Structure 1
Amino acid sequence: MTATVSTRPRTAADQGAAAGEPGQVRRGQPATKIIVTGILVVVALYFLVPVYWVVVAASKTTDDLFGTNGFWFGDTFALFDNLAAVLTYGGGVFVRWLGNSVLYAGVGGLIATYLAAAGGYALAKYRFRGNNLVFGLVLGGVLVPGTATALPLFLLFSQLGLANTYWSVLIPSLVSPFGFFLCRIYADSSVDSSLMEAARIDGAGELRIFHTIGLRIMTPALVTVFLFQIVGIWNNYFLPLVMLSDQELYPITLGLNNWNSQTDRLPEFYELTTGGVLLSVIPLAIAMIVLQRFWRGGLTEGAVKA
C-alpha cells in the first residue's frame, strides 16, 4: 500500500485546526481585555475621584465650596491660605494631631509587625501540641470587628487607669490577627527548614536564626503587614473616640471630626476640615508610593512552593 502525501500548502485554517484552533481563543481575547480594562478604569475612578474632590474642595473658600461646581475649582484659589490656616489654628493643634497619628501608626505598626512575624514564624516552623488550635483562635480574631472590642477594652483600661492616655490607643494597635495569619502562611512557604538546620549545626540559637534568617526571608510579607497596619491605625476612629477625651491626645481622624462637628455654627471650619483632610492623605500616599514594590512582592512571593 502506497501512502499519498499532499503537497498543498497549509493554510491558516489548517494550522489553527492542528493547534487546537487557537484562532477562536484569539478572537475572544480583545473583548476580554476591553472588559477587564473597563472594570479597572471604574475601580480606579472609584478611588481617585474622592481624592480629586478633596484637592478641589481644599482650594476653595466656604462661599465657593457651596456656590460653585463641586468638581471644579472656584473663583478664588485659596489652597495655600487654607493649609496655612489648618497648620496655625488653635496654636498648631493640627500638627499635634498629626504627630499623634504618626506615633500611633508608626510605633504600633512596627511592633505589631514584629509580633506578627514572631508568632507566625513560630507556628509555621515549630510543631507542638495545640499548634493548629492556637492558629485557629488567632484566625478567628480576624473575623471579630474592632468596634466589637472597643467598649470591653475601654472598661479594662479604665480599671487599669490607662484610659485617656497614649497607651489606651497604642496597646490595642500592637495586635494584628491578619498580620499573624499572613506571616504564618508566608513563613511556612518561604523559610526553608534546611537553612534552619544548617544554622543550628553552626551553633546559632533559635532567636538568632529568627532574626538573621527568618526576618530577612520574610521581609516582603513584613512590609505588607506593616503597610496594612499603619493604614488601619491611621484611619481608626472608633477606638480613639471611646478611649480619649483630651484633645491633645487625639489622632488626626478624631480631630478632623471635631472640626467638622462645628461647621454648623462656624462655617469657616469647612475650610479647615477640607484642608486638614488633604494634609491627612499625604502621609499615607507617601507610604504607599515608597512601599508599593514591597507590597506587590509580599502578596505574591511565597504563594507557590516549588
Structure 2
Amino acid sequence: MTAVATALRPAPPARRAPAHRSRTNLIPTVILLVGALYCVLPVVWILIASTKTNGELFSTPPFEPTFHGGFVTNMRALFTYDNGIFYRWAINSVIYAVGGAALSTIVCGAAGYALGKYRFPGSVVLFRLIVAAVLLPQIMLAIPQFLLLAKFGMTNNYAAVLLPQLVSPFAIYLCKIYAEASVNDEVIEAARVDGATEWRIFLSIGARLLSPALVTVFLLQFIGIWNNFLLPYVMLNRDQLFPLTEGLYGLLIITGGQAAQYSIVIAGVLVSIVPLAILFLSLQRYWRVDLISGGVKA
C-alpha cells in the first residue's frame, strides 16, 4: 500500500529559475544574436545582389532577389571580362595567400618555438619588442616597406607582396605562448639524451605539438593576405600581378566614360568568399581535436 500511495503521489512542481537569472541569461543571448546578424547579413546581401543587374541593384529592395537570369549573366561577364583576367587575379591571390601563409607559418613557428623553449642573450628584450610590435597597425608599414624594397628594385613583382608578410608579431607571440604550454621540457631532454639535434627535435616533436597553433597562424595569415588591399596597391602597378582585392577595386573606378561594373564586382566578391569558407570547414577539425585532447589531459 505504501508503494501504491507513493506511486500515486503527484510529482512536486518544477522549480522555476529566478527572474533575475532569466534576465541575466537573456542579455548574452541577445548580444550573440545581434552579432550573428551583423556577420551574416552582409553575406546574405551579397548572395541576393549577385542575382541582380546593375540597374536592378538600385531599383529593387536590397534583400529582394530577382530571377531573371542575372546571376548567370553576372558570372559569365565576370569570367569573360578583359579576356578572362579574373582567372589571373584568382591565381595571384592563391599564390600570395597560400605562399605567404605557408612561409609565415614556418618563420613564425620557428621563432615562437625558439623564444618559448630557449634562453639566450637578448631573448627577453626581443620578446618585449615583438609584443610592442603587435600594437603597431600593419597599415603604417606599407609605405616604409615599399621604400625599402624599391631601393633593391624588388617592387612590382610577387616578392614585393610575399616578403612583407613573412613576419607577423602576433603569430610569433601566439606560437611562443603555445610552445611554453604544450611542449614539455622533459620530452625535449629525452630527445637530446637520445642524440637528436635541436632541428630534429623541433621538426619531430615541437612542430607536431605546435600543430594547432601553426594551423591557427596559417589560417589567420591566409585570411589577412587574401583580404589585403593596401600592400598590393602600393607595391604593384601591373594588372597581371593584381590579386582579387585590387583587381575588383579597379572595376569600380569609372574611366573612359564606362560605368562602374557593380554587378561584376559583387559576383567576384561572392566567388572570392568560397576559398575562405572551404578553408574554415577543412581546418576546423584540428581545433576540435586539440580541445578534445586538452579535455582528456585535464
TM (norm. structure 2) is: 0.89
**d(CA) in 2 for partners of 1:263, 1:289:** 40
Q: Does 1:260 align with 2:244?
A: no
Q: How do 1:153-164 residues align onto structure 2 when only pairs under 5 Å count?
A: 153-164=145-156
**Cα offset, 1:264, TM superposition:** 9.5
Q: Which residue of the other structure, out of 94, 97, 101, is the alignment partner of 1:105?
A: 97
Aligned partner letter, 1:238: L
Q: Distance in 1 between matches of 2:16 and 2:48?
A: 48
Kept in 2, the 8 Å contact 1:61–1:271? The answer is yes
Q: Which moved more, 1:68-77 or 1:293-302?
A: 293-302
Amino acid at match of 1:207: W
| Residue 169 of structure 2 corresponds to residue 172 of structure 1 | no
Match in the other structure for 1:37: 29
* 1:140-190: CA deviation from partner (whole Å, max 9, x where unpaired): 221121221111111111111111111100111111111100000000011
Pick from 40, 53, 61: which aligns with 1:48? 40
Q: Which residue of 1 aligns with 2:273?
A: 281
Bigger mean CA offset, 46-55 vs 150-159: 150-159
2: distance between equivalents of 1:65 and 1:128? 60
| CA distance in 2: counterparts of 1:296 and 1:139, whole angstroms | 28
1:26 deviates by 5.7
How far, CA to CA, are the matches of 1:67 and 1:57 in structure 2?
A: 12
**AA partner of residue 118 (structure 2):** Y
Question: Per the alignment, in what secondary structure is the counterpart of residue 144 of structure 1?
Answer: coil
Q: Name stretches of at least 5 consecutive residues in structure 1 with no aligned partner.
A: 1-11, 13-22
Pick aligned residue for 2:134 from 116, 135, 142: 142
Query: What secondary structure is seen at the aligned counterpart in 1 of 2:81?
Result: helix
Using the size of structure 1 for normalisation, the TM-score is: 0.86
Identity %: 45
Gaps of 5+ in 2: 1-11
Match of 1:241, SS state, is helix
- C-alpha distance after superposition, 1:248-274 (max 9, x if no partner): 000110001100113894346112111
Given the alignment of the two structures, is residue 213 of structure 1 paired with residue 220 of structure 2, yes or no? no
Matches within 5 A, 1:97-136: 97-136=89-128
Query: Aligned to 2:218, which of 216, 223, 226?
Result: 226
- Provide the residue aligned with 2:191 in structure 1: 199
Structure 2 residue corresponding to 1:94, chosen from 68, 86, 90: 86
